[in-house]
């Protein structure tokens, strides 16, 4: 039975992706920060899909050491991994550094994804084969032509939320192309593929930490014209994960605002020099976090036991 890992899988878009994968007969691991919420989601997904092979793992993907620990727990639970969905994310309207010294929006929406992907690549590679590649789908924001602040990714000289959003959206876009390029050059491009689904306005609990002006502007101005439901967006992600037309498609970007469509990356995003520069920056951040904050030995808390009855599903925070 193919296996999948969905970060941010306890709520919002990620939860709907997990439900679709479980309903298709896959073993599914969902990741979120809140233990009680995660256990409820595990039970709800099992009941809704009729699939008992849904497991929750608590994890904090704002931290590099959290990503590394999660990868160890996944490897302890699963001998293979065919699908990886990066759904964990939030938009925080204030300046906060993580315990590892990374600006929190950049940490959750990009750095944690980079670190987790690198840790899980051996498992994905071992599970994929020509004609049936392991697939990675990155759920990112719809912003395009953003700027990566290579010299000051933490915005220490002055935080701006729009800059933060533009940065992590661009980082996800460039990462998608750079990883595909590196896999191709190593001869592994037919075994592991990666695509990015750039998502517009979606009504989920991701809005919880919006600044006041966004909490007012988005529902009044953007929702009536552009808002999608988590179910609709998840259906596009599932097509990229499971659809036969997307076998072997890698390093590509797709946009979901009013409708699902492929988009052509701009020259800056396609530039291999930018890709290498982002990769080097990401590795420096990961190395610094690992050296300063070594992680404790992993202990697997997840179990494939049948949970007790749970209440009905709640709202929609993608970050879990």
The tens digit of pLDDT for each residue in 96-148 reads 999 999 999 999 999 999 999 999 999 999 999 999 999 999 999 988 889 99
Task: With both helix axes pointing from N to C terminus, report the angle between 112-127 and 272-292 in degrees, rounded to the nearest 10.
Answer: 100
Contacts 24+ apart (CB under 8 A), 158-167: 159/94, 159/95, 159/103, 161/91, 161/93, 161/105, 161/211, 161/214, 164/103, 164/105, 164/106, 165/91, 165/105, 165/141, 167/105, 167/106, 167/110
Give domain limits for the chain: 3-292
Of 125, 1, 5, which is closest to residue 73 (Cα–Cα)? 5
CA distances from 154 to 88, 98, 100, 149 (A): 20, 10, 12, 8
The gap from C-alpha 212 to its chain's centroid, in whole angstroms, comes to 26
| Whole-number pLDDT of residue 201 | 66
Phi, psi (deg, nearest 5) at residue 65? -65, -25
Q: Report the SS3 class of residue 103.
A: strand
Residue 154 structure tokens: 């933490």
Interior angle at CA 230, CA 225 and CA 233, nearest 5? 80
The bridge status of strand 83-86 relative to strand 3-7 is: parallel
Question: 186 Cβ partners below 8 Å, 6+ apart?
Answer: none
| Whole-number pLDDT of residue 313 | 26
Interior angle at CA 123, CA 295 and CA 90, nearest 5? 60
Q: Report the SS3 class of residue 221.
A: helix
Of 286, 235, 214, 267, which is closest to residue 65 (Cα–Cα)? 286
Task: Give the predicted TM-score (pTM) of the model.
Answer: 0.88
Q: What is the 3-state secondary structure (H, E, C) of 48-90?
A: HHCCCCEEEEECCCCCHHHHHHHHHHHHHHCCCCCEEEECCCC
Query: Residue 194 is inside which H or E element, if any?
Result: strand 192-199
Q: Does domain 3-292 have CATH number 2.30.110.10?
A: no
| Whole-number pLDDT of residue 213 | 64
| Whole-number pLDDT of residue 257 | 87
Return averaged pLDDT per consecutive 10 residues of the chain, 320 residues in all. 95 96 98 96 98 97 96 94 95 93 96 98 95 96 92 95 95 98 93 95 66 69 74 96 97 93 94 98 95 51 36 32
């Amino acid at each position: 039975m193919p296996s999948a890992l969905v970060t941010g899988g306890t709520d919002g878009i990620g939860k709907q992706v997990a439900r679709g994968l479980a309903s298709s007969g896959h073993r599914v691991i969902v990741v979120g920060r809140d233990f009680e919420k995660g256990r409820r989601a595990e039970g709800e997904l099992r009941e809704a899909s009729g699939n008992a092979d849904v497991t929750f793992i608590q994890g904090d993907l704002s931290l590099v050491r959290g990503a590394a620990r999660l990868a160890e727990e996944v490897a302890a639970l699963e001998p293979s991994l065919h699908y990886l969905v990066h759904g964990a994310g939030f938009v925080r309207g204030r300046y906060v550094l993580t315990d590892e010294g990374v600006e929190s929006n950049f940490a959750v929406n990009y750095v944690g994804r980079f670190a987790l992907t690198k840790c899980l690549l051996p498992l994905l590679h071992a599970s994929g084969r020509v004609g049936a590649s392991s697939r990675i789908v990155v759920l990112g924001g719809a912003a395009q032509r953003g700027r990566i602040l290579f010299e000051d990714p933490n915005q220490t000289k002055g935080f701006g939320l729009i800059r933060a959003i533009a940065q992590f959206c661009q980082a996800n876009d460039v990462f998608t192309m750079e990883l595909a390029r590196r896999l191709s050059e190593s001869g592994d491009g037919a075994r592991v593929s990666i695509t990015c689904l750039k998502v517009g306005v979606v009504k989920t609990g991701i809005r919880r930490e919006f600044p006041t002006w966004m909490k007012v502007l988005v529902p009044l101005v953007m929702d009536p014209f552009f808002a999608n439901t988590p179910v609709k967006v998840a259906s596009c992600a599932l097509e990229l994960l499971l659809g036969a037309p997307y076998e072997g498609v890698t390093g590509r970007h797709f946009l979901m605002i009013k409708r699902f469509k492929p988009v052509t990356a701009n020259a800056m995003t396609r530039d291999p020099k930018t890709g290498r520069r982002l990769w080097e920056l990401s590795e420096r951040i990961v190395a610094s976090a690992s050296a300063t904050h070594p992680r404790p030995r992993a202990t697997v808390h997840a179990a494939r036991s049948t949970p007790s009855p749970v209440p009905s599903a709640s709202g929609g925070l993608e970050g879990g």
